[in-house]
Amino acid sequence: MLNFTVGPVMSESGVLEFGAQSTPYFRTSEFSQLMLQSEALALKALEAPPHSRCVFLTTSGTGAMETLVMHVLNARDKVLVVNGGGFGERFAELCRLHGREMSEIRLSFGSSLREEDLEPFARQGYTALLVNMCETSSGVLYDMPLIARFCKRNGILLLVDAISSFIADELKMAEWGIAAVITGSQKALAVQPGIALVALAPEALQRVEENPDVSMYLSLKSALKNGERGQTPFTPAVTVLLQINWRLRSIDENGGVARERERICARAHAFRRGVTNLPFTLLAQSPSNAVTALKVKHGAEDITRILKDDYGIWVCPNGGEYADTVFRVGHIGYIVEADERALLDALYDMNAKGLLQ
């Protein structure tokens, strides 16, 4: 199967080899050294400010979203959530679940965030803003410099879910004054699912220190404490951590994160050029490099099913009210030129057979 979803995605053989071996014991100085190296490489890739930290939690991306809401935010915060799709909605839900005072900046599906969407929320006493840098359900990449300026101007703590954007889109933690960034192992890091990364700048670290722990398993305090010596409080997804270390080193040694981003960006552009003669429209006004959401008149679910059953290609169906009209093609993971050609050939073949109408 060729996998053009937005995660889990295809991995290089160097990554896959770890999965074929027994899991090594991890309470060793060797594993600790490896984890400290991964932390340093992750912070470098994120362009994090000095004295930032990054911890590796054994949970999916949503676990990292939840621990931000639980442990970086507190009951005195007044939170803004950018809600332009399924993942913005998840942040809003988490805020409600954990009793955070919260307002949503609601955007129509596929729309970019503009200055005039933010302005009504200026000088209203908001203390934190949660945003999914790429709203993966629609493929929209929000204007991060705009959000960063708004937050700086209003003294608002900026917390960013870059689960699908990390590596795929430009991300400047220090320059944009981001207090916390989260990502996951199964998106552009392109290893198996199971680990979420939480990077914290000094202002977020201070909040974690001061806020009470409301979860033992997702405690950032204990992850940070154990992380000082390259360890984790509980048994982590050891194999995934080894894969992450291999990938971070490989990216660093091959031109850095900018180089890897260029490859993903080139793939996204080539795909979007490739489908211009097909009966699709691009959903997102400002698409992320990670994913392209395609709009059809109807039958999106059939398209994804036929691609899977007849062509051996996975793409992402959309859920809910867009199930019939939107599907998504990912550009992250280990995709080679022949794979890209196979996807376009399949789509053109389906079009010739009248299956895209």
Ligand X SMILES: *Cc1c(COP(=O)(O)O)cnc(C)c1O
Q: Give the binding range for ligand X (CB under 6 A) out of 121-129, 130-138, 170-178, 306-314.
A: 130-138
CB of 136 to ligand X, least distance (A): 3
For ligand X, the binding residue among 58, 67, 83, 132 (CB under 6 A) is 132
CB closer to ligand X out of 183 and 232: 183
What are the residues whose beta carbons fall under 8 Å from the beta carbon of 190, sequence distance 6 or more?
9, 10, 11, 12, 15, 247, 332, 333, 334
| Between 315 and 356, CB nearer to ligand X | 315
Q: In sequence order, what are the beta bridge partners of 330?
A: 291
Cα 331 to Cα 207: distance, rounded to the nearest angstrom: 35
- Tell me the residue ranges of DSSP E strands in 156-226: 157-161, 180-184, 195-200
Residue 86 engages ligand X in binding (rule: CB under 6 A)? no
Q: Which residues contact 247 (CB under 8 A, 6 or more apart)?
A: 12, 15, 189, 190, 191
Q: Which residue is nearest to ligand X (CB)?
A: 61
Do residues 303 and 313 touch, judged by C-beta distance below 8 A?
Answer: no
Stretch that binds ligand X, among 105-113, 119-127, 159-167, 253-261 (CB under 6 A): 159-167
Single-letter code of the amino acid located at 350: M
Q: Under the criterion CB under 6 A, does residue 184 sit at the interface with ligand X? A: yes
Q: Kindly tell me which residue out of 61, 84, 287, 317 binds ligand X, with binding defined by CB under 6 A.
A: 61
Residue 31 binds to ligand X (criterion: CB under 6 A): no
Which residue of 39, 77, 161, 260 would you call a contact of ligand X, by CB under 6 A? 161
Tell which positions 215-254 bind ligand X, by CB under 6 A: none
Q: CB 15 → ligand X: shortest distance, Å?
A: 17
Nearer to ligand X, 183 or 346 (CB): 183
Task: Give the integer Cα–Cα distance in Å for 165 and 150.
Answer: 20
Q: Closest CB to ligand X among 117 and 161?
A: 161
Q: How many CA atoms lie within 13 A of 173 on its CB side?
A: 32
CB 72 to ligand X: min, Å: 16
To the nearest 10°, the Cα dihedral for 218, 221, 223, 226? -150
The neighbour count for residue 73, using CB atoms within 10 Å, is 26
Query: Rounded to an integer, what distance in angstroms lies between the CA atom of residue 147 and that of residue 158?
Result: 8
Binding mask 87-106 for ligand X (x = CB under 6 A): x-------------------
Closer Cβ to ligand X, 18 or 87, answer by number: 87
**Contact footprint for ligand X (CB under 6 A):** 7, 60-62, 87, 132, 134, 136, 161, 163-164, 184
